Structure 1
Amino acid sequence: MMSIGPFSIKVVGVGAAILLAWLVTRAVARRMGDDVSPKLAGAVLFDAVFWGLIAARLGYVAFWWEDYFAKPMSIIAIGDGGFTWWVGVLFALAFIGWRARNMRMLRRAALAGVLTGVAAWFLTGRVVGLLHHSPPMPDLQLATLEEEPVSLLSYQGRPTVVNLWATWCPPCRREMPVFEQAQSEFPDVNIVMVNQGESAEQAQAFLTGQGLTLSNVLLDPFSRAMNATGARALPTTLFFDAEGELVNSHMGELTMASFKSNMARHFSQSAQPLSDEE
C-alpha cells in the first residue's frame, strides 16, 4: 500500500493537485496586472474546490443511494473514499463560471488553475500506477475460531477480500455488519475476517455479543498479517483478485456503498451481488 506518512498516496495526490491549482491561479492573476487580484482569484479557486468536493460526494451518494439511505449517517462518513470525481470537476467549473460571470480575467485565472490541477492529478495517477507493484497475497498460517490451522493462500482461485480487525477497535466494530451483509450478497467472493492479536475466546465472545453471523473468521495472534501487508492501522481491508494479486486496499471504516463500489471496479461480473441477479 503506497503512502506518505499516515496518508495514502491518493490523498496526497489530491492535496498536491489542489495546491498546484491555487499556485497557478495566483500566478496567472499576477500576470494580468491590475485586471484581477491574485488574492481574489485564489479565494475563488478554493471556493470552487470546496463546493466541487461536496458535489463529488453527493454524486457518489446518489449513485449508491439505496445503501446510504439505509444508514443515513454513513453519508457523512467520507473516510470511505466515496467521491465521483467528474461530478466534482464539472461543478467546480460551473461554480467558477457563475462566480466570475462578470469578470472575464478572474474566470480565466481560476479556470487555468482548475484545469492544471486536474491534469496534474491524472498524470500523477498514471505515474503511480506504472511504478506501483501489486504485492501478492501473503503466505500466512492462521487459525480458525476452533483453532484449526489454515493457510491464507488456500483462498486463492477467486476474488478475496481480507479484513484486518480487532474487538477493541471502534471502527472495526462499526463496519462488521457491512461484512456480514457482504458475505450474504457476494457468495462468489471470499470475505475473510482476520482478527489481529486476540484469542479465539475474545473474538468469539465479541461476535456472539453483537449477534453477528460471520464465516471465514480467522485468528492471527501475532498480527503477522499487518506486517506482511504493510497495514498501518486497523481496520484495513485488502482486495485480492483470483490470482492473489492485491488490486486495492482501504485503511479505515468501510460503508456498504464503498464495498460495493470496490466490487464493481475491481472484480468481474461474477462478483456482482445476488440482489442484482434476482
Structure 2
Amino acid sequence: MLPAPLLLVLVCALLAFWLARRLARPLGVDPEPRLWGVLLAALLCARLAFVWSYRDAYLAAPWTMLDIRDGGWSPVAGIVGGWLAATVLLPVHRPDRRPVLRALAAATGFWLVGTLALQWHGLQQQRSLPALQLVAVDGRTVDLRSFRGQPVVLNLWASWCPPCRREMPALQQLQAERPDVHVVFANQGESAARVLQYLAGQRLQLHHLLFDPQASAGQAFGHRALPATYFFDREGRLVDARIGELSRATLAERLRRVAP
C-alpha cells in the first residue's frame, strides 16, 4: 500500500541511523540526536518547498498545508535542507560530525541510485489503459481504451473510503476546469444505487462515472488500496500513479506530467 518512493526514503533513513551508530560506536558518542534534527529539517524543507511551488492551490484552503497525507513533498529541497542543517548542527569540533556526515552521504547516494532504478523500472514496465469493460450510469458498457486521444486521470474509489471522499471535490474541480482532460471515476465494488445516493447527498456531479462491480481495474493494476489515481498521456500510456489521497496541489503536480 505504500508507494515505492516513500519506501525508498524510509530505507534511506534507516540506513543513515544504522550506519551512524556503527561509525560512532568506537568514538563513544551518540549520533542520533543530531540525525533526528537533520531528518526533521529535511522533512520541513521538503514540505515547505512543495507548498510554495503550489501555493495558489493551498491558499484556497490554508489549513491543508498541514495535511501531509496528500503526499506533497519536494525531495531535492529535502536533501538540500538536510545537508544545510547538518552543517549547522555539526560544527567542525564535534566528535560525532564525521560519522553523521558519512551516514548522510551514504543515504543520499542510496536514494539517488534507488530513484534512478525506480525510473528505469517504470520505463521497462510501461503500461497502457487496460482493456476493461465498465458500466456507465445509463447501463452502457464503456471500454476504458475509448478515452485515448486526451490525457486521462483514472480514479479508483468507493463511497466508504474516507480519503476517497476527501479528494473528490478536488477531482470534481479538475473536471470542471480542464475539459481537455478525461477525468474518469471508476467506483470499485459498489452498487449504482448506493453510489448515486452518496453523490446526491454530497452534491457532487461527476462526468465519466463508471461502475466496476468486480473491482477489475484494481486487479489490472495490482493495487487493492483505495483511493488510487492513474495518469495517462494522450496515447493512453501510464505516466504516473498515486496510491493514497490527493489534494489540489498534488493533483496539479502530477497532472503537469501528462497535461501541462
Q: TM-score range by the shorter chain?
A: over 0.9
Per the alignment, residue 58 of structure 2 pairs with: 68
Q: How many residues matched?
A: 258
One-letter identity of the residue aligned with 1:263: L
| Cα deviation code 1:157-215 (max 9, x no counterpart) | 22111001111212111111011111122221111001111222222222222111221
Superimposed CA distance per residue, residues 98-122 of structure 1 (whole angstroms, 9 cap, x where no aligned partner): 2122535433332222222111011
| Residues in 2 aligned to 1:168 and 1:42: alpha-carbon distance in whole angstroms | 41
Name which of 99, 121, 126 aligns with 1:131: 121
Shift of 1:91: 1.7
Within-5 A mapping of 1:12-161: 12-30=7-25, 33=27, 37=29, 39=30, 41-101=31-91, 103-132=93-122, 133-161=125-153
Alignment-derived partner of residue 244 in structure 1:
236
Give deviations 1:218-270, integer Å, cap 9, x for gaps. 11122111111112211111111222222221112110000000012x22xxx
Q: Distance in 2 between matches of 1:122 and 1:97?
A: 21
Distance 1:115 1:243 in 2: 40
The structure 2 residue matched to 1:202, chosen from 194, 210, 232, is 194
What SS class does the counterpart of residue 248 from structure 1 fall into?
strand
> Counterpart in 1 of 2:180?
188
Q: Please, which runs of 5 or more residues in structure 2 have no aligned partner?
A: none
The answer (yes or no) to whether the contact 2:163–2:227 under 8 Å persists in 1 is: yes
Task: Measure the CA separation in 2 of the matches of 1:136 and 1:152.
Answer: 10
CA offset at residue 30 of structure 1? 4.2
Give the structure-1-normalised TM-score. Answer: 0.86
So what's the TM-score if we normalise by structure 2?
0.92
- Asked if 2 retains the 8 angstrom alpha-carbon contact of 1:147 and 1:200, the reply is no
| Runs of 5+ unmatched residues, structure 1 | 1-5, 273-278
Superposition RMSD in Å: 1.8
Q: 95-104 or 185-194: which moved more?
A: 95-104
Deviation sequence 1:131-165 (CA, Å, 0-9, x none): 34122211111111111111111011221110011
Tell me how far apart the structure 2 counterparts of residues 24 and 103 of structure 1 sit (CA, whole Å).
Answer: 20
- Partners of 2:48 and 2:166 in 1: how far apart? 22
Q: Alignment partner of 2:225: what SS?
A: coil
Q: Which has the higher contact order (CA 8 A, sep 6+)?
A: 2
